[in-house]
């Protein structure tokens, strides 16, 4: 892959909106044209070179383009938004809407990421090595469809309303989650290995999706009914996928019994919450 390195020119309390930063937009262009791409600094338009320095080699196709952001990008929003191919590595923190509506490619964030990471994501892979904010893989306000494909992996903790209105795809959080995990969920899979927040699965309807809790669960909504305790054979696929392909050591959970709850009965739902049976 050919690599281009973007270096933010210092941190700013005024946010930068840079949805132009994606392999799709960079591929086939010259460095000079990339430096002239328009970004928003607050409510004003500037060429990217004013706030982000760009250097490196450009690929002809987005599939062969690697973008490395070297430095704190916590004030830069919309990185990788709508990307279809290629790879982005953010060596530090990332701002809001990172990877939103992406349908392919790979984004790695070595630090933390702010709210709306992978919002309405359709495909691809996002790896967050630190913590994630609120609304991971969620639907934007007023939309009835959140994440519909792809995978978001958070190696730390995640905030509230992750997977809101989720339809398909997978979210994995190795740490804790905030309240309303999987709210309005109607498909897809959420796997949590830390402590799960309150009101998990509120108004979820099901459609084949589930929330699997391998850590502690303080309480479930009273509108979820206990169904059975069993050892789900299909969970082997997820455990092996995490261990073999995503580098998460989950072998200790292989073939462990889980309690299944169904709901949210308040909306006539048949969603599944699976809770690890403690020894």
**Residue that the structure tokens 């430096």 belong to:** 35
pLDDT of res. 218: 81
Residue 244: what pLDDT? 86
Q: How far apart are CA 8 and CA 92, in angstroms?
A: 11
For residue 209, give both structure tokens.
């999706």
The confidence score (pLDDT) of residue 278 equals: 82
Q: Helical H runs in 108-250?
A: 235-244
CA-to-CA dists, residue 275 to 155, 216, 231, 248, 261, angstroms: 20, 9, 11, 19, 8
Task: Compute the distance between CA of residue 157 and CA of residue 164 in angstroms, rounded to an integer.
Answer: 17
* 63-81 CB burial, b ≥16 within 10 A, e <16: bebbbbbebbbbbbbbbbb
CA dist 130 and 110 (Å) reads 6
* Residues in the chain where the model's pLDDT stays below 50: none
Tokens 């997977």, located at residue: 163
> Cis bond leading into 210, ω under 30°?
no
pLDDT of residue 249: 86
Determine the pLDDT at residue 279: 65
Report in angstroms the alpha-carbon separations of 163 from 11, 74, 197, 201.
30, 22, 13, 10
Question: What is the pTM assigned to this prediction?
Answer: 0.95
Of 149, 273, 166, nearest to 211 (Cα)? 273
Residue 268, pLDDT score: 93
C-alpha to C-alpha distance for 131 and 51, rounded to whole angstroms: 26
Q: Cα angle at 61 between 57 and 67, to 5 degrees?
A: 45
């Amino acid at each position: 892959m050919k690599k281009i390195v973007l270096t933010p020119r210092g941190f700013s309390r005024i946010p930068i909106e840079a949805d132009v930063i994606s392999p799709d937009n960079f591929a086939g262009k010259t460095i000079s044209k990339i430096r002239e791409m328009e970004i928003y600094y607050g409510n004003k338009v500037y060429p990217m070179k004013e706030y982000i320095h760009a250097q490196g080699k450009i690929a002809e196709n987005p599939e062969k383009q690697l973008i490395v952001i070297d430095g704190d990008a916590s004030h830069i929003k919309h990185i990788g938004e709508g990307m279809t191919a290629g790879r982005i590595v953010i060596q530090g923190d990332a701002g809001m809407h990172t990877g939103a509506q992406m349908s392919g490619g790979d984004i790695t964030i070595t630090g933390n990421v702010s709210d709306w990471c992978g919002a309405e994501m359709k495909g691809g892979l996002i790896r967050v090595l630190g913590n994630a904010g609120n609304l991971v893989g969620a639907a934007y306000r007023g939309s009835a469809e959140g994440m519909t494909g792809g995978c978001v992996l958070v190696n730390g903790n995640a905030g509230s309303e992750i997977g809101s209105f989720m339809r398909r795809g997978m979210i994995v959080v190795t740490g804790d989650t905030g309240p309303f995990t999987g709210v309005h969920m109607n498909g897809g899979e959420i796997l949590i290995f830390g402590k799960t927040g309150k009101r998990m699965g509120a108004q979820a309807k099901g459609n084949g999706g589930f929330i699997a809790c391998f850590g502690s669960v303080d309480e479930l909504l009273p509108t979820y009914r206990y169904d059975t305790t069993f050892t789900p054979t299909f969970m082997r696929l997820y455990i092996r996928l995490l261990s073999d392909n995503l580098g998460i050591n989950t072998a200790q959970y292989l073939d462990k019994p889980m309690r299944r709850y169904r709901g949210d009965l308040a909306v006539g739902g048949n969603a599944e919450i699976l809770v690890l049976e403690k020894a």
